[in-house]
Amino acid sequence: MRMNNPVARWIIILLAIITPLCLAWYVHFQRDNISCESHLIIVDDRSVVDLLIAFRLRSGSGTYDSTGEYSQSGKPTIAISNKITFNYWREEGNVIMVSSDTNELPKKDEPFRRFIPDFFHQRDRGIRVEIVRVNAASYLFSFGNSPALYCTKS
């Protein structure tokens, strides 16, 4: 079949140029625009931290929101929450996040906080994580070469 219509030829050429550019933009957009949620339960000898977590990363800035409960055996359950705003960039396959503001509640020092990186407690502290897209609907956050959090798209 011969194509004699020059307009049709130009349309095909333009589609051949535009389609890969659109796909490249979409892949880049998905990589730099992450919004996901996770349910995290940390169990220690005599205590449990139960959290709902939301991460949002978009074009170099992000937020982390968590709400949940901290319970120790024989003591009343304590409601806990944290809201962090941060800046981030990618470096060597990792995401570097530096907190710009934190609002951790309650303000008193609970034993579980000793095991959580400074990024979650203090401003101007950084953390390096690897964020790997597992499938179309989820991400795996790794910290120190260990899986730390499985997060599903919100």
Question: What's the CA gap between 48 and 69, in Å, rounded?
Answer: 8
H-run or E-run covering 116:
none
Question: What's the CA gap between 109 and 69, in Å, rounded?
Answer: 14
Cα 10 to the chain's mean position, in Å? 42
4-57 pLDDT tens trace: 678 888 888 888 888 887 777 776 666 678 899 999 998 888 889 999 999 999
CB 74 within 8 A of CB 67: no
Higher per-residue confidence, 2 vs 111: 111
pLDDT of amino acid 93:
86
Q: What single-letter amino acid sits at 94?
A: N
The tokens of 81 are what?
């929450």
The correct CATH number of 35-153 out of 2.40.128, 2.60.120, 3.30.70, 3.90.320 is 2.40.128
State yes or no: pLDDT of 2 exceeds 70: no
Question: What's the CA gap between 123 and 103, in Å, rounded?
Answer: 10
Question: What's the CA gap between 41 and 149, in Å, rounded?
Answer: 10
pLDDT classification of 83: cutoffs 50, 70, 90: very high
**pTM of the prediction?**
0.78
Count of other CB atoms within 10 angstroms of residue 133: 13
Please name the residues in contact with 68: beta carbons below 8 A apart, sequence gap of 6 or more: 40, 49, 50, 51, 52, 79, 80, 81
Region of 124 (left: φ > 0; alpha: ψ -120 to 50; beta: rest) is: left
